[in-house]
Amino acid sequence: MGQSQTAADKVITIEKLTKSFGTHQVLSGFDLELSRGESIVVLGRSGSGKSVLIKCLIGLHMPDSGSVNVLGNNMLALDQAELDKVRARVGFLFQGNALYDSMTVRENLEFPMRRHMSGVTPADADKRVRETLAHVGLEDTIDMMPAELSGGMQKRIALARTLILHPEIILYDEPTTGLDPITAREISSLMNHTKQTYNTSSIIISHDMKCVEQTADNVAVLVDGRCHALAPYQELARSSDNKVRQFFD
């Protein structure tokens, strides 16, 4: 998919994005660009609007102003059918996994397939489900319910559900928050493995510095609703700016 495009190809462009809830201004002129194959981590404190930011990228929140361009589509001007087409190419890993707890693992993975793709045969679907589960290393959970799985396993299943449509971009909302350090490191490795296997670009929200170091090509620091700094991890780690330092100390 898309191999013909140049290296400078931007898959997401965010310009002057603002969003407020009532009188509470969450984002106030956020800018960011994501190139194909790149992983950007967005660092920010709790409640700084990180989730709001990535939800604006796939139409789960409507920005007040600014522009959002995803895979060449102006996200603010799409009708429902066009929006669904873009959403099929962008995976979203929710912070709490958001697995459907009334469905088995298999049904969870089949859900986006049945919805976004027409004419998938049961055999194809089964093959794809097993392939994706193998990628996250959990083939034998296929008939289990999400509640029977540990936190780390749920995260892997949620990632598998995100991957089932072979998205070009993945948005990770705090993928390691709430996991123990060892599991968190496994998830970070799985994210890197996913990037290589599926050729994805990603925006990762995190404040787990181990995960940031492991997964980021570039780190964006979200402060006061703006992108305060953007640089590779090592460079930021040497920064003397207090607003950046607070994440490293």
Partner 1 sequence: MSRFVFRYFSEVFRPRYEVGQFIRQCYVIGYLSLPLIGITGFIMGLVLTMQLRPSLMSYGVEAQLPVMVSLAIVREIGPVITALIFAGKISSGIGAELGSMKVTEQIDAMEVSGTNPFKYLVVTRVLATTLMLPVLTILSDAISMYGSYLGVNIKGHTSLQLYFIQVFQTLHFGDILPATIKTVFFGFAIGMIGCYKGYNSSKGTEGVGRSANAAVVVSSLLIFIIDLITVQVTDLLGLN
Q: Residues in the site for Mg ion, rule: CB under 5 A?
A: 51
Q: Which does 52 bind (CB under 5 to 8 A by kind): ligand ADP, partner 1, Mg ion, none?
A: ligand ADP
Work out whether 46 is an interface residue with ligand ADP (CB under 6 A): yes
Distances (CA, A) of 114 to 33, 156, 157, 161, 207: 32, 20, 17, 12, 34
Residue 190 interface partner, choices partner 1, Mg ion, ligand ADP, none, CB cut-off 5-8 Å depending on type = none
DSSP letter at 62 equals -
Q: Shortest Cβ distance from residue 214 to partner 1 (Å)?
A: 25
Can you tell me which of 17, 38, 41, 49 binds ligand ADP, judged by CB under 6 A? 49
CB of 44 to partner 1, least distance (A): 19
DSSP bridge partners of 227:
222
Backbone torsions φ then ψ of 115, nearest 5 degrees = -85, -40
Choice from 1, 2, 47, 180 touching ligand ADP (CB under 6 A): 47
Figure out which of the listed residues 52, 99, 160, 216 binds ligand ADP, where binding follows CB under 6 A.
52
| Distance set, CA 156 to CA 19, 51, 98, 190 (Å) | 31, 20, 12, 8
**Which 3 state secondary structure label does DSSP give 80?**
helix
Q: Which residues of this protein are in contact with ligand ADP, per CB under 6 A?
A: 21, 26, 44, 46-52
